Structure 1
């Protein structure tokens, strides 16, 4: 685990770390010349019982709070340093505020420079410190009077640190890997090295990772964990990673980037969060306030959009959206700190709830209720609360990436009671039973209204029904909904057309004879390039408008398909062409107009019209000049013969 110092400038943080470990963490010439810490410093110490303690020493100057936050993010144990002669000072208070906002509750207080004060003064400082701690998660932290001059208390503090921090070298985190970069440099004979604290997962030499938000790919050539060569680095350790990659240069890797598993490369310029404003903030936090945001080791600027009302009062908690000037890597649960526009005062801090929020409707009541559910600390509880509020469902793949979930947790989510799990091709979707049933009712109601409005048509195809009833649902989820309704007998599918079981479309006996004996043979004679309405009417010696009306009625019944304007194809022809498109996809990766044209022996214009028809009904999807049949596509045509009765389609 990692121990991080905190406290006011010149209160002896660096001297105390040196007394505890024998390591001088001030490595810059300017730091040694001025006698103050300007950058993060690091030290390590072996434990007698095994394992290694890592120390991060932070600067205490008021202008370097951003550096202190970068060091504090990811530590496990706080060592708050307060000089006994000065007592608590401004950065003592601000550092303590930051630590509390980061949720740190494990730590100790070192009262330094005890050789300079009387016992009475020491007692007074202890009272002051206890008062400061009382409102934070460190209220129960023990106090250790120490002096690096006389050595008083140093051994006791070291013993406590060794006992309080259990070794974690044997703990493997099944989540995906994330390391917050706080340094990047090159070593002769080694190459590019980045250092930071591992927030989750584990890493081994040879692993392929990405830097985010830059997106550069990197391979791990080797690593040090807790300052020793290692074959694995795990969560809770400080690691140095030797990176290799054609796009890498250490001058382009900045503090604040993350080294992550490829699936966790999710740069974002906005995220929704729950924010706590400090009780002693000078004023309320207003909507669209410019701020400095510290997340991980990153330091960015941006604005705060208050989602509930227009302000959050001092001491208040509210939902916000952070709109940043640059992208950052953020996942649900990440802690962040906000400081004012001048970077002089800490305003508050919070926890990321959604790293990829919708661009619209951020203040809708349902959206705010969903964020309230996401704020639940326990994952399964949060998802169980969120599902009834998620009308479009919750994607397991999206949750796995945004929340960095391990496989066991994902399995628990898929098995939640009162939940419908759909598909696995994109990681699966979860719906609450109530939401699922509401969508089914919406589909049936939409069909009933469509039948009433267009009784001459059998019904819409599945893709058109999706656009009518549930345009925000993806095709796989809508297919699962409609298939469940078909299995239950509440919905019927005739070819591509959806209709209610009691809906029937009938032709008059005269129209039925005209279709069966005269029109069908004409269309079937040239199935892949049948005559258009005008030519068909001329061949039959019939009124063109009457033939057009009849063909449109037949199209509504599912007997023919209107592929293009006044161009109708039989069911058997469309069935054959749909099979051909799928065969082309299997052989060549996609259905292209030229190959489709040659296979059918028709003109290019008609071939393009047929493929565009398949796109329109959702059988194919056009990507560039290619038309691809996807697994969720459906066009099941039980083509009738020319003598098939068409006067009743009710089943």
Structure 2
């Protein structure tokens, strides 16, 4: 037996013979509920395996046709790959025939055939008329060229041709890819004595193995798969498109309900809003007004929602518009999922719920969007075009964000497994579209370019507002960039490489920039530099400098900042500033101590400098900051920068003396 992970589904008007046809296909009666037996129609979804030519097994879902249970039909349609569209020869085309065809189209079904049932009840003329009517109905739809197979569930006439056609359609249908995170919309839940909770559903993506952890969303519960059946047989693995029953004893069955999602990761968000493209049926009567209350059907879930339009204030039959679906209750949704919307339209002149349209989810959020925001519309349009291309979607996620993303971040945005995301990023890097950053993060080249442009503009604005300063510090730049600051390092590197900016001491400046310093200010800078050089490690405070050079404190502080920006002075903390030569001399002292021992104490460093803790401690803290030393309690060990300058023999050092 070979399993092909696709799902067949029936669709059509009530009492047109769908369940009887499935019984012939599978040998199973999919009407399982007592109410179904009593009423003689399918209320809920029925699942069964079907064996085709070549000993292949596919799944079959029998969906209800009665108008009262159309929501269950939508729930079944989400998992269908091939539809058997059923029309009874005696009744012909009926109301739910139309509505089921609309739902199948909206749910993206691409393959199918037509079963013209109950031919034993009509003559040849009637059969021919109904076939012509079916062809007219299906014109321009995905079933336009589908084979129409007349048959009788009672006499068996026509089944040979039907099975031949079914095998051909199944052969032409590709299996569902098993890539991506495993996601299963919950179809049903029950308990088995001795085993506990059993949940059934059809994985829409990914694959499942025994022992795998599963998250129940949006409930936030987790359990492991103890046992598993695919089409009623014990299995060690299930794939997208197969009907699977999962034994999850760690999850209370009372916490599980249809419309929830089982996922291998908690990356799927539970949201109250979803951005989508909505297409209104051309056959709809009336108009859809902004903020219409509707029934939103996705997967096996159904929830009340408001349709907030993002481009206009109403929709007419056949129109398409970007909308935000505002849900009355949170659902676990991902981009790409198809949905159907049903509502009561007063403008149609009809009463009761009717299918008005559907579409695909483009994004999920918990933030209300405003109408006619061009950036939002452009972003959603780009998402729509990338939905079916994982590589393009991953690149778009990197383009959209102002901050770099790790592989874990991309897993949550692309809903792919870690190895799939890694391969995606590798491809984008090879094409030069994505850049790697520190900390295992990645950024799109365009995003880095946009941040670089903002940085250059910020530097130019800073120069205009502060002509007397040498440049802007990295901290000041980061404050002006906001969330984009995480791309600052890479963006600055690109600007430096392009020669558009340069480092002016410890600050960044536009290429060719020179601070506007008067002769008097430069003379004061020279006097301060001389005083700081002479002071060595026992550096004077700003107040002491002002007194020594006979200048006002604000002017001295301004020159201290300028000299610090030029890199002549180094600001160790709020109180202590040293000449760069004194800092380098302090590093040499540390290296000599490391040559004698593996670590040294603050007291030993202070004594080696011959100054008080007032100067020794800030200098040590600065050396920690620049990774020259590493603090461990009251001792310092060589940091990365110190190790680069130590010879192997010096780096060995002796252990610290006891008591230090």
Which residue of structure 1 lines up, in the alignment, with residue 657 of structure 2?
Answer: none
Which residue of structure 2 lines up, in the alignment, with residue 502 of structure 1?
Answer: 512
Which residue of structure 1 lines up, in the alignment, with residue 646 of structure 2?
Answer: none
Please state if 1:484 is matched with 2:491.
no
5 Å-filtered alignment, 1:16-55, equals 16-55=21-60
Which residue of structure 2 lines up, in the alignment, with residue 421 of structure 1?
Answer: 435
Which residue of structure 2 lines up, in the alignment, with residue 592 of structure 1?
Answer: none
Deviations 1:74-125 (A, max 9, x none): 1111111222211111111111110011111211112222222222222222
C-alpha contact 1:37 1:60 (8 A) present in aligned 2:
yes
Measured after TM superposition, the shift of residue 350 of structure 1 is: 0.5
Measured after TM superposition, the shift of residue 53 of structure 1 is: 2.1
Please state if 1:347 is matched with 2:350.
no
Which residue of structure 2 lines up, in the alignment, with residue 512 of structure 1?
Answer: 525
What TM-score, normalized to structure 2? 0.78
CA distance in 1, matches of 2:438, 2:292: 42
Matched residue count: 580
Q: Mark the CA change 1:214 to 1:88 in structure 2 (over 3 Å): closer, same or farther.
A: same
Measured after TM superposition, the shift of residue 276 of structure 1 is: 0.9
CA distance in 2, matches of 1:181, 1:427: 35
RMSD of aligned residue pairs (Cα, Å): 3.9
Deviations 1:426-457 (A, max 9, x none): 6522233xx65454344223212312321222
Please state if 1:431 is matched with 2:442.
no
SS at match of 2:482: coil
CA distance in 1, matches of 2:174, 2:284: 40
Measured after TM superposition, the shift of residue 299 of structure 1 is: 0.8
Q: Mark the CA change 1:168 to 1:563 in structure 2 (over 3 Å): closer, same or farther.
A: farther
Deviations 1:327-369 (A, max 9, x none): 2222222111111158711110101222348655663223312
CA distance in 2, matches of 1:352, 1:413: 26
CA distance in 2, matches of 1:446, 1:92: 63
Please state if 1:313 is matched with 2:316.
yes
Measured after TM superposition, the shift of residue 503 of structure 1 is: 2.5
Deviations 1:368-400 (A, max 9, x none): 123222222552785599699858489585555
Of 180, 191, 197, the match for 2:196:
191
Please state if 1:270 is matched with 2:273.
yes
Deviations 1:205-252 (A, max 9, x none): 12223222222222222221232211211122111122243xx21121
Q: Mark the CA change 1:67 to 1:394 in structure 2 (over 3 Å): closer, same or farther.
A: farther
Deviations 1:509-560 (A, max 9, x none): 542344234457779437xxx85x5576578876444443433444554555
Measured after TM superposition, the shift of residue 575 of structure 1 is: 10
Which residue of structure 2 lines up, in the alignment, with residue 369 of structure 1?
Answer: 378
Measured after TM superposition, the shift of residue 169 of structure 1 is: 12
Which residue of structure 2 lines up, in the alignment, with residue 550 of structure 1?
Answer: 559
Measured after TM superposition, the shift of residue 56 of structure 1 is: 0.8
C-alpha contact 2:402 2:484 (8 A) present in aligned 1:
yes
Q: Mark the CA change 1:401 to 1:21 in structure 2 (over 3 Å): closer, same or farther.
A: same
What TM-score, normalized to structure 1? 0.79
CA distance in 1, matches of 2:400, 2:585: 40
Which residue of structure 1 lines up, in the alignment, with residue 467 of structure 2?
Answer: 455
5 Å-filtered alignment, 1:112-127, equals 112-127=117-132
C-alpha contact 1:200 1:235 (8 A) present in aligned 2:
yes
- Of 170-179 and 55-64, deviating more is 170-179
Gaps of 5+ in 1: 579-600, 618-634, 637-651
Of 71, 77, 89, the match for 2:76:
71
- Of 165-174 and 443-452, deviating more is 165-174
Measured after TM superposition, the shift of residue 51 of structure 1 is: 3.0
CA distance in 1, matches of 2:613, 2:242: 67
C-alpha contact 2:390 2:414 (8 A) present in aligned 1:
no
SS at match of 2:127: helix
Measured after TM superposition, the shift of residue 561 of structure 1 is: 6.9
Measured after TM superposition, the shift of residue 312 of structure 1 is: 2.2
SS at match of 2:55: coil
Which residue of structure 2 lines up, in the alignment, with residue 649 of structure 1?
Answer: none
Deviations 1:16-45 (A, max 9, x none): 211222211111112112222221111213
C-alpha contact 2:10 2:85 (8 A) present in aligned 1:
yes
SS at match of 2:277: strand
C-alpha contact 1:169 1:234 (8 A) present in aligned 2:
no
SS at match of 1:473: helix
Please state if 1:215 is matched with 2:227.
no
CA distance in 1, matches of 2:396, 2:586: 44
- Of 103-112 and 534-543, deviating more is 534-543
